[in-house]
Homo-oligomer: A and B are copies of this chain.
């Protein structure tokens, strides 16, 4: 299967595309000569990873009949100081909220996403150090 994305330059540093029928605008910050009409492109790498593994985990927990009161996927990315300013390390924090959550099942869901299902982490971990943490909050 092939995915095709067409990103069109609008003006100054702003670009626009259609992703699955949803408009996405990307722009540089004002201090970088842009107009901040949309987010910076590199950070989409973090959103892509968080969304991919987050959806896997939601789906797996549903199958396991584990119900959570809240769930956040926090991704921390270390950026290189010199060009190319790439992510050199990422940490994915799976933060669950709920009473008496079964840690073993949460761990299994996260592991299944990371090792079997998530196509985004499968690419990133070839290129950078990817670590994981599970947090349960009140």
Contact = CB atoms under 8 A, between A and B. Distances in A.
Interface of A: 1-9, 13, 15, 17, 19-22, 24-26, 28-29, 33-34, 36, 38-52, 54-55, 58-59, 70-81, 83-87, 116-124, 126-128
Given A3-B76, A76-B4, A58 B126 contact: no
5 contacts: A3-B46, A19-B43, A20-B39, A26-B47, A124-B127
Given A20-B29, A122-B86, A126-B127, A48 B52 contact: no
A33 B120 CA distance: 20
A29 B17 CA distance: 18
Contacts of A2: 76-79
Number of copies: 2
Contact of A54 (B9, B39, B123): B9
A33 B84 CA distance: 38
